[in-house]
Structure 1
Amino acid sequence: MSTSQNQMHLAAFVTAGPGRPGGWRYPGSERNWLSASYYQHIGRVLEQGRFDLMFFADILSVPDRLGNSMDSQLRYGSLGSLRLDPTPILASVAAVTRHLGVAATVSTSYLEPFPVARSFATTDHLSDGRAAWNVVTSFQDSEARNFGNDRHIDRDKRYERADEFLEVACKLWDSWDDDALVVDPAAPLFADPERVHRIDHEGEWFSVRGPLNVSRPPQGYPVIIQAGASPKGRDFAARWSDVIFCSHASLESAREFYQDIKGRAVRHGRRAEDVKILPMANPVIGPTTEAARETERQLADLVPPLAGLSTLAYHLDIDLSGLPLDEPLPDVDVPGVQGHYKEVVEMTRRDGLTLRELGKRYGGRTEGAFVGTAAEVADGMERWYTEGACDGFTVGAVHTPGAFEDFVRQVVPELQRRGVLRTEYEGETLRDNLGLERPASGTWRNRRYGA
């Protein structure tokens, strides 16, 4: 493995659908979401920019948390209005790229370990070691109702299930020794039976005999991505994740999260550098600072307040429809994503936002440090990176694919000129390029939740 340890890493946040409620309305945005060529083009652009990976978000329902209605989601093209299954898209992108990692979001709450482990092992083989899995536990009753349940699993239980899910997946990936696939026609010996093992897993949530019917992935395990923000989620992420996706409203909150996660990883017997933390950045780039601000304003004008509030209601798992729009978001108990709640509380208090203004801001989120000329955006990213807030960024597109094209054409050369971003890929696999060791068989035993 050969990779630079003093350069930032870049992931791209992509949705298999319209994404942002203002972005799809922006002039010049492409709307070819149902075609493989749309995602293949983005993949090629990202590889030109030496991104580590292309990360597809996903959910398992059309959200109806705002007023018990899907109207605002569907009407405004918000969060879950249209989401293709991201897993098949990975293979189509991998086929037209050589180095770019490909990541899909898959929930541990409603699927089973065997088909998920098999799918990611297959993708890792087909991509020559570039697959990644964004592990989510899901949290919405609307998702539960698509899988025969009235309510979602409670927070503690869903992390317990996720832990066992990851354990079973790793056992399945380990069920073939690295040298088990022989393919010797003369012997004849296709696969050595002594090197392929049943796992005979019996647990609280799963009973899986194994072995997997796919040989061990090129990376050992596909790269694991997670976004836990609550104390329970942070602990889970620090034990299992290779990459952590997060969202922060300020450098200070990002730095606190970074230090906390790195400390948790070390306490669980891992090296701090084995967990890459990539907070969200939604750059808006212009030839001048004012031009970038004007684009930001145009994008914000395209976001109806209810579009952003319906997405926020989904993330917080709270119906916001009964709250006054011209008053600030009150303190509430949040059953949903703790990280998003901390982010909007910070924005509300810092900028004095009403709920209506928060809806527009949340639906078209940009970060002040990443709005401006290419040099100014690079300044902000370099500051976060050098001041201990991140190992790089998860870059979102405020409109697609143009915002990715602008970033690669303008900001990437600035970062490369400063020596904080690679100019060429150093490794063959995604783990290589992230500076991560290939896990030996049985590595999962050191990552058990509650160990």
Structure 2
Amino acid sequence: MSRSMIKLGAFLPAPGHHISAWRHPNAYPAGVLDFHYYSSIVKTAERGKFDMIFLSDGVGVRTHYKDSDELSRWGRMVHFEPLTLLSALSVVTERIGLTATCSTTYNEPFHIARKFASLDFLSNGRSGWNVVTSTTDVEAQNFNLDKQPDHGTRYLRAREFMEVATGLWDSWEDDAFLFDKESGRFFDPEKLHILNHKKEFFSVRGPLNVARPPQGYPVIVQAGSSADGQDFAAQWAEVIFTAHKNLEQAKAFYRGIKEQVAKYGRSPDQVKVMPGIFPVVGRTRDEAEQKYETLQNLIDPVVGLGLLSTQLGNIDISKYPVDGPLPELPETQGSTSRQKLLYEEAKTQGLTIRELYRSIAGPRGHRMILGTPQEIADQLEEWFVSEAADGFNIMPPQLPDGLTDFVELVVPELQRRGLFRTEYEGQTLRDHLGLERPSFRAHSGSK
């Protein structure tokens, strides 16, 4: 599919992206652990012809609250392990891509390569891996550490992790398996390749005990916007999730990342930039504003402060006056790009701490678009035509309503303008995104 078509991902944390979503009258908070709930939501996205769904993940409960009472006010303490959930969803869906976050800091390459290869087979080539390095000490403390490794070390490990994972996916050539009963050959021994990787972080012999995935590799997704994150994305990513609030920032990032991709000898067309969009859809603008205000009025100040602390790099800001300005705070080893974005927003708009946490309660630093289907489509079209984005990662404010509104109201408007598919044209996630299938290559150390 050419760039004339917008790509769409559905970013689906139950019960929605707004921190008050679980308290909404139409919300089903127990849906976080209900497969049928997720199945219904994903089928809605597939009905809307989305390229993929996306599940974020962390391997710890991210909180900075002082006691369990404060902790209990947050609506996202538990959720499914994403690859388990996507494997189940692969059975009840047919075309939509299935993408999930897994950390290179708190996993081993063999585990990740095996799981995503399995998911790719189970889904007939619809898997995608959002590669993250993790950002919090609470995750480290679940893996025999007191603090997470520093930012630079995490990215060094991640680069080597990718070398190993891709090498393992190339353990077998595409036509290695003969299943020849007459000759007694299950596979062609010349088409088995032993990795024998041994470097700074990993020693992995291989081979992988799953055949080469239908897509060659799962689609590689990355969301870091720091200097290290962008360089990593330029080398490895095929889809880049990013956060920008205005057109000029988005265009600058788009140009910059495409240039960096070319420096690694890769085609810029083989990397899709998809900023996060938080859409509040109404049949009229008044209706959209009322929907947003309903969620804003449900914000618990304790949860708002906790969210802001996390977004600032896990810095406790509860000791500062909530109606005063955001103070200068030290740079952390967490998400440095998100911290910088929030500082800029608070400074340029003169926001108090309360105003800042209310402004990110839904979009979390991404662009919020509020209005009618036509108004939302206008802004998506402007960003797409201006080469600020190849598509968008849609972040419904509240589920299931926010996704249903987008599918039933915005998608038809994009289709009417010739900007989005009316039917799937291929089977795999690579087909949907217009990405080439990686050819087999013998990695260093293999025979």
Sort the TM-score into its range (normalised by shorter chain).
over 0.9
Q: 2:198 aligns with which of 198, 202, 224?
A: 202
Offset at 1:17? Answer: 6.4
Which residue in the other structure is 2:232 paired with? 236
User: Structure 1 residues 138 and 117, CA, compared in 2 at 3 Å: closer, same or farther?
Assistant: same
Instruction: Map 1:324-403 to 2 at 5 A.
Output: 324-335=321-332, 336-365=334-363, 370-403=369-402
Partner amino acid, structure 2, of 1:100 = I
Q: 1:317 aligns with which of 314, 318, 322?
A: 314
Does 16-25 or 27-36 show the bigger shift? Answer: 16-25
Partner amino acid, structure 2, of 1:327 = G
**Secondary structure of the corresponding residue to residue 178 of structure 1:** coil
User: Structure 1 residues 443 and 233, CA, compared in 2 at 3 Å: closer, same or farther?
Assistant: farther
Determine the C-alpha separation between the residues in 1 that align with 2:336 and 2:252: 15
Which residue in the other structure is 2:124 paired with? 128
Percent sequence identity is 44
Partner amino acid, structure 1, of 2:25 = P
Partner amino acid, structure 2, of 1:104 = A
Which residue in the other structure is 1:448 paired with? none
Offset at 1:412? Answer: 0.1
Partner amino acid, structure 1, of 2:182 = A
Instruction: Map 1:89-100 to 2 at 5 A.
Output: 89-100=85-96
Which residue in the other structure is 1:435 paired with? 434
* Deviation readout 1:125-167 (Å, 9 max, x if unpaired): 1101000001110021111000010110100100000011111
Offset at 1:364? Answer: 2.3
Which residue in the other structure is 1:296 paired with? 292
Offset at 1:302? Answer: 1.1
Which residue in the other structure is 2:158 paired with? 162
**Secondary structure of the corresponding residue to residue 102 of structure 1:** strand
Determine the C-alpha separation between the residues in 1 that align with 2:340 and 2:286: 29
Cα RMSD (Å): 1.8
Offset at 1:361? Answer: 2.0
Which residue in the other structure is 1:279 paired with? 275
User: Structure 1 residues 350 and 70, CA, compared in 2 at 3 Å: closer, same or farther?
Assistant: farther
Determine the C-alpha separation between the residues in 2 that align with 1:348 and 1:370: 19
Determine the C-alpha separation between the residues in 1 that align with 2:15 and 2:21: 11
Which residue in the other structure is 2:408 paired with? 409
Offset at 1:16? Answer: 5.5
**Secondary structure of the corresponding residue to residue 75 of structure 1:** coil
Q: Which runs of 5+ in 2 are unaligned?
A: none
Offset at 1:71? Answer: 5.1
User: Structure 1 residues 435 and 70, CA, compared in 2 at 3 Å: closer, same or farther?
Assistant: farther
**Secondary structure of the corresponding residue to residue 220 of structure 2:** strand
Determine the C-alpha separation between the residues in 2 that align with 1:254 and 1:349: 19
Partner amino acid, structure 2, of 1:7 = M
Offset at 1:60? Answer: 1.2
**Secondary structure of the corresponding residue to residue 370 of structure 1:** strand
Aligned residues of 1:378 and 1:411 also touching (Cα < 8 A): yes
* Number of positions where the alignment pairs a residue of Structure 1 with one of Structure 2: 440
Determine the C-alpha separation between the residues in 2 that align with 1:73 and 1:292: 31
**Secondary structure of the corresponding residue to residue 282 of structure 1:** strand
Offset at 1:370? Answer: 1.6
Q: 2:28 aligns with which of 27, 30, 38?
A: 30
Which residue in the other structure is 1:249 paired with? 245
Partner amino acid, structure 2, of 1:288 = T
Aligned residues of 1:247 and 1:339 also touching (Cα < 8 A): no
Which residue in the other structure is 1:88 paired with? 84
Which residue in the other structure is 1:193 paired with? 189
Determine the C-alpha separation between the residues in 2 that align with 1:138 and 1:444: 27
User: Structure 1 residues 444 and 127, CA, compared in 2 at 3 Å: closer, same or farther?
Assistant: farther
1:6 aligns with 2:4: yes
Offset at 1:293? Answer: 1.1
Does 254-263 or 332-341 show the bigger shift? Answer: 332-341
* Deviation readout 1:171-221 (Å, 9 max, x if unpaired): 000011000111122222212222112111101111111000000000100
**Secondary structure of the corresponding residue to residue 12 of structure 2:** strand
Aligned residues of 1:95 and 1:127 also touching (Cα < 8 A): yes
Offset at 1:323? Answer: 2.2
**Secondary structure of the corresponding residue to residue 363 of structure 1:** coil
Does 407-416 or 187-196 show the bigger shift? Answer: 187-196
Aligned residues of 2:3 and 2:390 also touching (Cα < 8 A): no
**Secondary structure of the corresponding residue to residue 371 of structure 1:** strand
Offset at 1:350? Answer: 4.2
* Deviation readout 1:355-391 (Å, 9 max, x if unpaired): 0121122222387762101111111111111112111
User: Structure 1 residues 71 and 220, CA, compared in 2 at 3 Å: closer, same or farther?
Assistant: farther
Does 257-266 or 306-315 show the bigger shift? Answer: 306-315
Aligned residues of 1:129 and 1:429 also touching (Cα < 8 A): yes
1:426 aligns with 2:422: no
Instruction: Map 1:252-263 to 2 at 5 A.
Output: 252-263=248-259
Offset at 1:244? Answer: 0.6
Aligned residues of 1:66 and 1:314 also touching (Cα < 8 A): no
Determine the C-alpha separation between the residues in 2 that align with 1:87 and 1:368: 28
